[in-house]
Structure 1
Amino acid sequence: MGVHAAAQAWRALSREAEAADTRHRHQVNGPLRHAQWQGRDADSAFHTMERTEQILEVVRVEAEAAALILETVADRMDQARTNLLNALRRADEWGLPVSPDGAVGLPPQSAPQHHDPDPGADALMLLRSQLQARIDAAVAGAREAAEQGAQALGRLDADILTAPRTFGAAAESARDAADVAKDLGLVAPAVPENTDPRQAAAWWAALTPDQQQSLSALHPEEIGRLDGLPSAVRDRANRLLLEQQSDALHVGAPDGAGPTYGEYSRRENALRALKDRLDGADGDPEDRQLYLLALDPRGDGRAVVATGDPDTADHTAVLVPGTGTTLAGMPGQIDRAAALRTEAARAAGPGSRVSVISWLGYDAPELDASMATTDRAEQGAADMRRFTEGVRTAQGDRHGHLTVIGHSYGTTAVGIAARGGDGLRADDIIGVASPGMGTDRAEKLHIDPAHVWLGTAPDDMISNAAGLTLGPDPARAEFGGRTFGVDTHGHSGYWDPDSQSLANQGRIIAGLQPAPTPAPPTAPLAPHDESAAPDHRRPRTAG
Structure 2
Amino acid sequence: MSGNLFELLIRFDPAGLHDAARKWRDLSTGAQSAENRHRSQVNGPLRQAKWEGADAQKAFYTLGRTEQILEILRVEAAAVALTLDTVAERMYQAQTNLKNAVHRAEEQGLSVGADGTVNLPPLGEGERNDPDAASSPERKALTTLRGDVQERINKALADAQQASDQGDRALGRLDAGILTRPRVFGSAAETAADVRDVAKDLGLADPYVPDNKDPKTSADWWKALTPEQQSTYLALYPERIGQLDGLPATVRDEANRLVLDQQLDALKAGSPRGSDMTAGEYNAREQTLMKLKEQLDQHDTAVEDKRVFLLGLDAKAYGGDGKAIVAMGNPDTADHTAVLVPGTGTTIDSTGGQLTRVNDLQEAAKQASKGTNQKVSVISWLGYDAPEVPVVQAPNLSVAWDSRAKDGAEALRQFTQGTRVAQGDHPSHLSVFGHSYGTTLVGAAAAGGEGLGADEIVAVASPGLTVDRADQLHIDPSHFWTGRAADDNIDKVAGYSLGADPVDDEFGGQRFEVDTSGHSGYWDDGSTSLDNQGRIIVGKPPTTLPRLTVNPLGPL
TM (normalized to structure 1)? 0.93
| 8 Å CA contact 1:453, 1:484 repeated in 2 | yes
Say which SS state the counterpart of residue 193 (structure 1) adopts: coil
1:379 is aligned to 2:407 = yes
Quick one: which of 459, 475, 479 aligns to 1:447?
A: 475
Could you tell me which residue of structure 2 aligns to residue 352 of structure 1?
374
2:385 to 353, 360, 363: 363
Match of 1:124 among 142, 145, 148: 142
Amino acid at match of 1:260: T
1:415 maps onto 2:443 in alignment = yes
Retained in 2: the 8 A contact 1:55–1:160?
no
Tell me how far 1:371 sits from its aligned partner.
0.5
What residue in structure 1 maps to residue 12 of structure 2? none
Of residues 226, 249, 254, the one that matches 1:208 is: 226
Partner of residue 528, structure 1: none
Which among 331, 336, 343 is matched to residue 357 of structure 2?
A: 336
1:164 matched residue in structure 2: 182
Q: Is the 8 A contact 1:431 1:454 kept in 2?
A: yes
* Aligned residue number for residue 483 of structure 1: 511
Offset at 1:256? 6.4
For the Cα contact (< 8 Å) 1:319–1:357, is it kept in 2?
yes
Percent identity, aligned pairs only, is: 58
The code of the aligned residue for 1:165 comes to R
Measured after TM superposition, the shift of residue 96 of structure 1 is 1.2
User: Structure 1 pair 278/191, CA: closer, same or farther in 2 (3 Å)?
Assistant: same
Given the alignment, which residue of 495, 499, 509 partners 2:523? 495
Partner of 1:95: 109
The answer for the alignment partner of 1:468 in structure 2 is 496
Q: Which residue of 1 aligns with 2:427?
A: 399
- Note the C-alpha offset of 1:112: 7.4
Which of 437, 444, 466 is the matching residue for 1:438? Answer: 466
Say if 1:8 and 1:318 are closer, same or farther in 2 by CA, change over 3 A: same
CA deviation string 1:82-104 (max 9, x = no partner):
11111121222112111111111
Relative to structure 1, the CA distance from residue 95 to residue 269 in structure 2 (aligned partners, 3 Å threshold; closer, same or farther) is same
**In the alignment, is the contact (CA less than 8 A) between 1:408 and 1:463 conserved in 2?**
no
How far has the Cα of 1:195 moved from its partner? 0.5
SS in 1 for 2:452: coil
Q: Name the SS of the counterpart of 1:108 in structure 2.
A: coil
2:494 aligned partner, one-letter code: A
- One-letter amino acid of the structure 1 residue matched with residue 17 of structure 2: V
Which consecutive residues of structure 2, in runs of 5 or more, have no partner in the other structure? 1-14, 390-395, 549-556
For 1:178-212, what per-residue CA distance to the aligned partner results, in whole angstroms no more than 9, with x for missing partners? 11111111001111101000111111111111111
**Residue pair 1:112, 1:121 contacting (<8 A) in 2 also:** no
Cα 1:63–1:112 shift into 2, 3 Å: farther
C-alpha deviation, 1:518, in angstroms:
9.3
Residue 248 (structure 1) aligns with:
266
Q: Aligned partner of 2:493: which letter?
A: A
CA distance in structure 2 between the partners assigned to 1:96 and 1:237 by the alignment? 56
| Alignment deviations for residues 307-333 of structure 1 (CA, whole Å, 9 cap, x no partner) | 000001110000000000011111211
Are 2:133 and 1:105 equivalent residues in the alignment?
Answer: no
Q: 1:187 aligns with which of 196, 200, 205?
A: 205
Aligned counterparts of 2:400 and 2:129: Cα–Cα separation in 1? 95
Conservation of the 8 A alpha-carbon contact between 2:309 and 2:330? yes
Once the two structures are superposed, residues 281-311 of structure 1 have per-residue CA deviations (whole angstroms, 9 ceiling, x without a partner) of 1124111101111100012100101100000
Query: Is the Cα contact below 8 Å between 1:171 and 1:245 reproduced in 2?
Result: yes
Structure 1 residues 284 and 459: CA distance shift in structure 2, 3 A: farther
Contact 1:316 1:402 in 2 (8 A): yes
Q: Is the 8 A contact 2:511 2:546 kept in 1?
A: no
Does the 8 Å contact 1:177/1:218 carry over to 2?
Answer: yes
| CA RMSD after TM alignment | 1.6
Q: Secondary structure at the match of 1:478?
A: coil
Answer whether contact 1:374 1:438 (CA < 8 A) is retained: yes
TM-score by length of 2: 0.91
1:400 Cα deviation after fit: 1.4
Shift, 1:165, TM fit: 2.2
Give how far 1:258 is off.
2.3
Q: Are the structure 2 counterparts of residues 519 and 413 from structure 1 closer, same or farther at C-alpha, using a change threshold of 3 Å?
A: closer
1:22-41 matches, cutoff 5 A: 22-41=36-55
In structure 2, relative to structure 1, the CA distance for the partners of 1:295 and 1:252 (3 Å cut) is same
The answer to whether residue 103 in structure 2 is matched with residue 75 in structure 1 is no
1:35-56 CA-partner distances (Å, limit 9, x unpaired): 1111111100000000000111
Question: Which letter does structure 2 place at the counterpart of 1:363?
Answer: D
* TM-aligned CA distance change 1:463 to 1:60, over 3 Å: farther
How far apart, in 1, do the equivalents of 2:141 and 2:249 lie?
64
| Equivalent residue number for residue 523 of structure 1 | none
Contact 1:14–1:63 (8 Å) recurs in 2:
yes
Matched, 1:150 2:168: yes
Name the aligned partner's letter for residue 411 of structure 1. T
Question: Quick one: distance in 1 between partners of 2:424 and 2:128?
Answer: 74
Which residue is 2:484 aligned to? Answer: 456
User: How much does 1:516 deviate?
Assistant: 2.4
Across the two proteins, how many residue pairs are aligned to each other?
520
In structure 1, the gaps of 5 or more residues are 521-543
Change beyond 3 A, Cα 1:518–1:49: farther
Amino acid at match of 1:353: K
Instruction: Give the structure 1 partner of residue 295 of structure 2.
Output: 277
Who is 1:235 aligned against? 253
Residue by residue over 1:365-384, the C-alpha shift from the partner in whole angstroms, topping out at 9 and shown as x without a partner, is 11221100001001000000
- Structure 1, 81-90 or 247-256: larger mean CA deviation: 247-256
In the TM superposition, structure 1's runs of 4+ consecutive aligned residues that sit over 6 Å from their partners are 110-114
Q: What does residue range 285-324 of structure 1 map to in structure 2 within 5 Å? A: 285-298=303-316, 299=319, 300-324=321-345
